[in-house]
C-alpha cells in the first residue's frame, strides 16, 4: 500500500505523538521524562527535518552527539516508539529505527549507605525542611516519585497504613504498614505543610539537588538500596522485603539483599576462633 505523503517535521510529529499516545496513558513522572528528552536531548536540527527525509544514518548521527549514554538510550527509545507509530500510521515508508544502531548503556548499580554514612547524612541534614522526606525514604524504601506523589488521602492513621500508588509495575501499587517512627515523621510533615494535599510538595529535581548537597557521594535512589540493605541486616525475610519495596522480580531485591547478607556473614565469621573465649 502506498504511504501518505507528508511535509510534517519530526518535531511536530513528536509533539502530536506525545499528546495523543503518551500523555493520556502513562504516569505523570514518565510523561515528564519523555517531554524532557524531546525538549532537551533530541537535537533541534533533527526535529526540523521532515519525517520523509529521515534516514537511519541521520538518527545515528543525532544520537551520537548526546554525551550521556543513559540519555542517548532514552532518546533512542523515544524515537523508536514514535517513529514505529508513524510507520504504522503510514506517515513514513519504513520503520527506520530497525536500521538504526542500538544504544549500549550499562546502568551503574546503586550503593547503599553504610550505617555510619547514614548517621552522618542525617546529622548534616539536621533540621532542614526536607529531613522528613529523606527519613521517609529510609524507613519505607519507596521510589522517589512514589513519595512525591503521595497524598494525605493515602494515609490512614486509624489503621496505621499507607497506600503507595506505584505505577512502575503491578506490584508497585501496594499498602505499607506504618512503623511508629514513620507515623512520627508524617505527623511532623503535616504540621510543616498543613495546607497541601500532597504529603511532600517538592519538585523532584530540587529534591535530588538538596540530597546531593548533604550526600555528594550517593544519589537519591541509594536511599532505596539502603532500605533493602537494612532489611537484610535486620533479618527480614527476602520475600517480605520484596513486597515492601514493590519489586516485581525477586532478583532485583536479591541483588542488594544478597550483598548485604554476604557482608554480614563475613563480619560474623571474623569472630571465629578454634579456641573460643570462655
Give the whole-number percent of the chain exceeding pLDDT 70: 81
- The residue behind cell 524531546 is 38
* Rounded-to-integer distance, Cα 232 and Cα 262, Å: 10
C-alpha cell at 238: 527476602
Output the average pLDDT for the chain: 86
**Of the candidates 196, 197, 257, which has an alpha carbon nearest to the alpha carbon of residue 232?**
257
pLDDT tens readout for residues 156-169: 999 999 998 875 65
pLDDT of 225: 87
pLDDT tens readout for residues 29-49: 788 889 999 999 999 999 999
Alpha helices in the chain (DSSP H): 10-17, 28-36, 44-47, 56-64, 69-88, 115-125, 131-140, 144-148, 180-192, 204-214, 222-233, 238-245, 250-269
C-alpha cell at 264: 554480614
Rg (C-alpha) for the chain, rounded Å, is 23
- Given a cut of 70, whether residue 272 has pLDDT beyond it is no
What's the whole-model pTM score?
Answer: 0.62
Instruction: Classify residue 233 by its DSSP letter.
Output: H
- The residue behind cell 532514552 is 74
pLDDT of 2: 47
Contact status, residue 164 vs residue 176, Cβ threshold 8 Å: yes
pLDDT tens readout for residues 47-77: 999 999 999 999 999 999 998 888 999 999 9
Average pLDDT for 242-258 = 65
Backbone φ and ψ for 260, nearest 5 degrees, come out as -65, -45
pLDDT of 1: 45
User: Confidence band (pLDDT; 50, 70, 90) for 183?
Assistant: very high
Average pLDDT for 255-268 = 62
pLDDT of 244: 73
pLDDT tens readout for residues 229-238: 888 788 777 7
User: Confidence band (pLDDT; 50, 70, 90) for 267?
Assistant: low
Average pLDDT for 174-198 = 93
**Which domains does the chain show, CATH number per domain?**
10-98 (1.10.150), 115-269 (1.10.443.10)
Backbone φ and ψ for 231, nearest 5 degrees, come out as -60, -45
pLDDT of 265: 63
Amino acid at each position: 500500500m502506498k504511504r501518505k505523503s507528508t511535509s510534517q517535521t519530526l518535531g511536530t510529529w513528536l509533539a502530536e505523538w506525545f499528546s495523543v499516545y503518551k500523555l493520556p496513558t502513562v504516569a505523570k513522572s514518565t510523561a515528564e521524562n519523555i517531554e524532557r528528552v524531546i525538549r532537551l536531548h533530541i537535537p533541534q536540527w533533527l526535529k526540523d527535518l521532515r519525517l520523509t527525509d529521515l534516514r537511519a544514518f541521520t538518527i545515528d548521527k543525532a544520537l551520537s552527539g548526546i554525551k550521556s549514554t543513559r540519555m542517548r538510550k532514552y532518546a533512542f527509545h523515544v524515537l523508536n516508539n514514535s517513529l514505529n507509530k508513524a510507520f504504522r500510521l503510514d506517515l513514513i515508508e519504513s520503520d527506520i529505527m530497525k536500521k538504526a544502531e542500538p544504544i549500549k548503556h550499562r546502568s551503574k548499580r546503586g550503593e547503599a549507605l553504610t550505617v555510619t554514612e547514614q548517621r552522618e547524612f542525617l546529622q548534616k541534614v539536621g533540621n532542614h525542611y526536607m529531613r522528613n522526606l529523606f527519613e521517609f525514604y529510609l524507613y519505607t524504601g519507596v521510589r522517589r516519585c512514589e513519595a512525591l506523589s503521595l497524598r494525605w488521602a493515602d494515609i490512614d492513621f486509624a489503621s496505621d497504613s499507607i497506600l503507595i500508588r506505584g505505577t512502575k509495575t503491578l506490584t508497585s501499587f501496594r499498602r505499607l504498614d506504618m512503623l511508629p517512627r514513620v507515623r512520627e515523621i508524617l505527623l511532623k510533615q503535616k504540621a510543616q505543610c498543613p495546607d497541601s494535599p500532597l504529603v511532600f510538595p517538592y519538585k523532584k529535581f530540587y529534591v535530588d539537588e538538596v540530597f546531593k548537597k548533604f550526600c555528594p557521594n550517593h544519589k537519591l535512589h541509594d536511599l532505596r538500596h539502603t532500605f533493602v540493605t537494612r532489611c537484610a541486616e535486620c533479618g527480614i525475610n527476602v520475600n517480605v522485603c520484596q513486597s515492601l519495596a514493590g519489586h516485581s522480580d525477586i532478583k532485583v531485591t536479591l541483588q542488594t539483599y544478597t550483598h548485604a547478607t554476604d557482608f554480614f556473614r563475613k563480619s560474623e565469621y571474623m569472630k571465629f576462633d578454634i579456641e573460643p573465649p570462655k
